[in-house]
Amino acid sequence: MVAWSWRRAIHNQSKKGHRSTTIDVVRGIAIAGVVLFHFVWDMEFTGFVSGVAFHPLWLAFGRTLAGTFMFLTGVSLVLAHGQGFRQNAFVRRLGIIAVAAVAISVVTYFIFPATFVFFGILHSIAVATLIGAVFLHLPSAASMFAGAAMLALPWLVSAPAFDSRWLAWIGLSANAPPSNDLVPVFPWAGLTLLGLAYARLRKLHTAWPKGGQPGAYHWPILWFSWMGRHSLSIYLIHQPVMLAIIVPISYLL
């Protein structure tokens, strides 16, 4: 009964016309990766492991996850608004992300004042969403060119004038200030524009799968699709939950 209810929920959500099970699954795998990434960070923060969380390969894994979310932001813009801009839905979604981003900055400022999140993944998604909206109905070539330019610019231009937290969010700093999560507009919003161009070129807003019969989904698809549809909620609550468990254990051992 539970399995059938989950399958029915995913099937009904797909039929609403603004979701793709495939995109939800990819987003779900990415948020599962984020939980794993932060779990390792928490384990190192509390002293259970050493030399893993800041290893270059592990940091590259984290950057890959961030890039996936930025790319999917562009894809999702096309899926949601490719056949007509839905202003109320856009403003509502953007508002939720912006409020969540501010909340993370405030909370991390009190917990990690020296390395608080002044411009993390949610901040970047919010700004990239605004930028993507400008390109939403322009030719795909414009999104591709602008996206490639945004990816390349930080490699070509950097200056100490951008080193303060007030300007480091742009992404052109010579030495960015420390932060537990820094995802500046340049180059990361470029991935959003490339995702937007990809979705436009593939005509995903008209040709994407609309969802099959509920029984067609297996458990991995069900789980990851559910996680993808609730990725923001999972992102906001997973760290407090994990820290609430791991930190007390670290004091006992």
CA atoms within 13 A on the CB side of 252: 5
> Whole-angstrom Cα distance, residue 206 to residue 214?
22
Q: Is the peptide bond before 220 cis (omega within 30 degrees of 0)?
A: no
Q: pLDDT: is 208 or 110 the higher one?
A: 110
pLDDT at 43: 96
Task: Map residue 160 onto helix, strand or coil.
Answer: helix
Among candidates 72, 59, 93, 74, which has minimal Cα distance to 30? Answer: 72
Among candidates 228, 207, 201, 206, which has minimal Cα distance to 217? Answer: 228
| Structural tokens at position 78 | 């096309």
- What separation in angstroms does the CA of 43 have from each of 51, 94, 188, 196, 210? 11, 33, 28, 36, 41
Is the pLDDT reported for residue 31 higher than 90? yes
> Whole-angstrom Cα distance, residue 15 to residue 97?
25
Domain ranges in the chain are 7-252
Q: CB of 28 within 8 A of CB of 227?
A: yes
Q: CB of 133 within 8 A of CB of 189?
A: no
Is the pLDDT reported for residue 135 higher than 60? yes
When pLDDT is averaged across residues 222-245 and rounded to a whole number, the result is: 96
pLDDT at 82: 84
- What separation in angstroms does the CA of 41 have from each of 80, 105, 162, 234? 34, 18, 28, 17
Q: Residue 208: which pLDDT band, with cuts at 50, 70 and 90?
A: low
Of 31-40, 196-205, 227-236, the range with the lowest mean pLDDT is 196-205
Q: Residue 17: which pLDDT band, with cuts at 50, 70 and 90?
A: very low
What is the value of pTM for the model shown? 0.88
Q: pLDDT tens digit string along 53-98? A: 999 999 999 999 999 999 999 999 999 998 889 999 999 999 999 9
